[in-house]
Amino acid sequence: MGVSIDPEGTETRILHDLVDFRNKDVVEVGCGNGRMTWRYAEQARSVLALDPNEALIAEAHQKMPDAVRSIVTFRTGDVQSVGLPDEGFDVAILSWSL
């Protein structure tokens, strides 16, 4: 018994249809527990995933697949509170956080 979000994979198809994540440096704003992060992170070069909710970030750390551990960094905060690298990113994602 449980809850599953988008087992149809529609969101994943849309993401990859709109963006080529291969070898990109990505910042994801509003990552929550990483639910959407897992859908593209394996293809990226790096992912900085931000969310102001500390509990969700902790959940994301706990659930992070081994395949993306070297790629994804989760941080609690937002773009104003987190120190972002000067070199910027190739892709910025506003993740269900508009």
Partner 1 sequence: MLDVHPEPEHARILVRIGDVTREVGKLDDTAYIEDIHAGRAVLASLMQEGLFAREREAVFEHILHATDVDTWLAYREERSTRSVLDPRIVERVRELLSQGMGEILVVELGYACTLRRLSGVSERASIEPTGE
Judged by beta carbon, residue 7 or residue 66, the one nearer partner 1 is 7
User: Does 89 contact partner 1 by CB under 8 A?
Assistant: yes
Place of tokens 């990552």: 31
From the centroid of its chain, how far is CA 84?
15
Quote the tokens at residue 84: 């972002």
Quote the tokens at residue 4: 């599953």
Residue list 60-79, contact with partner 1 (CB under 8 A): 79
Judged by beta carbon, residue 66 or residue 88, the one nearer partner 1 is 88
**Whether 86 contacts 60, CB under 8 Å:** no
Judged by beta carbon, residue 12 or residue 71, the one nearer partner 1 is 12
Residue list 17-36, contact with partner 1 (CB under 8 A): 17-19, 27, 29, 36
Least Å distance, CB 69 to partner 1, is: 23
Print the SS3 string covering 19-30: CCCCCCEEEEEC
Least Å distance, CB 92 to partner 1, is: 5
